[in-house]
Structure 1
Amino acid sequence: MIAALKYLHLASMLCWVAAMIALPLLLSFYGNTWRTNHGGEKRQARYAEFRLITHYGYIAFATPAAVISIAAGTALIFAADVYDLWFAAKLALVSGMALVHAWIGHFVVMSAENRGIDKMPSPLIALGLGIPLMAGVLWLVLAKPELAGLADWLPQFMLQPRGQE
């Protein structure tokens, strides 16, 4: 059971991370090329292609991968009884990834409504925010560092058991 959950979590996480890298690149580079053609019919066809790729890439690929990854990871918490401090740090970084994911979705919507992303900041900012978060999650999972020094910074009530076991 744990092995199947780990496989599902890892596979969906890889898909989610790939989409979080690909979508800002598509929005940044491909999103500007449809406006450079001078023929109206050809330009409209390129815009429709851009819109379908980004919309379905976000709605049908990235978001389901994120939901499956988070659901399988949550199931792993209880199945493997992982309650270490490094894991809390990992959850904080995954929360940041979810915020970047939502911001990428905002870019996708705005690129459709404005017929381009020229009025927004560069989508590459989302890439610059997302990659350190992804690298941090990977490091925490592989290294599983002892973060005992971090416990000194936490409030005392967070370090005591609540007697609900």
Structure 2
Amino acid sequence: MIALLKALHIAALSLWCAGLVAMPLVLQIYGRREEVRTQAGFTEFRLLMHAAYTRIVTPAAIVAIAAGTALIFAADVTQPWLVAKLVAVAGMVLAHAWLGHLNVEASEGRGSYQMPHAIAALPASLICMSAVLYLVLAKPDLQPLIEALPAALTTPQGRSLPDVLVPI
């Protein structure tokens, strides 16, 4: 079961990462070509980008996150590197959302057919992907970093919600 989840997670993550690399390049390079300046070329470009984002990249991201979440519970992983990995995955999600916004901006055209500077999303995506890859493969000991944090962030404070707020 765990091997199947890992295979699904890796396959979906590979497709998602490929989309996070390809989409900024396509928006930046192909979006500025002369063919896109015609109405037919612009319509084709808009439909291609919309289909890639909504039918390939976003479903791959959802499957990758769902399979990764299932893996956390199936393998009972609770090490500190996992929290750091989840922060990097959150960065990938933010880059994904930004690319969706840029996709909408490109499809609306704003009357001038100027494509937004999507290439700036590429370094953010690559940094997050590299961090995920490093954290998963190296599984570094982050205990010294945790010990360097203030005690208020790493120990329970003995506070609880009042009984009124606790559901029955």
Query: Which bin holds the TM-score, normalised by the shorter protein?
Result: 0.7 to 0.9
Structure 1 gaps, min length 5: 38-42
Structure 1: how far apart are the matches of 2:12 and 2:89?
13
Q: TM-score, normalised by structure 2?
A: 0.85
1:55 aligns with 2:50: yes
Where does 1:9-48 land on structure 2 (aligned, <5 Å)?
A: 9-34=9-34, 43-48=38-43
- Residue 95 of structure 1 and its aligned partner are, at CA, apart by 0.2
| Partner residue in 2 for 1:66 | 61
Runs of at least 4 residues off by over 3 Å: 34-37, 153-162
| Partner residue in 2 for 1:136 | 131
Identity percentage of aligned residues: 47
Residue deviations 1:122-151 (CA, integer Å, cap 9, x gap): 101000111011011001101011111111
Q: How many residues align?
A: 156
- Residue 159 of structure 1 and its aligned partner are, at CA, apart by 3.9
> Root-mean-square deviation (CA), in Å?
2.0
Distance 1:26 1:160, change over 3 A: same
Structure 2 gaps, min length 5: 158-168
| Partner residue in 1 for 2:8 | 8
Q: TM-score, normalised by structure 1?
A: 0.87
Residue deviations 1:76-130 (CA, integer Å, cap 9, x gap): 010001110111000000000000000000000000112566374x101000111
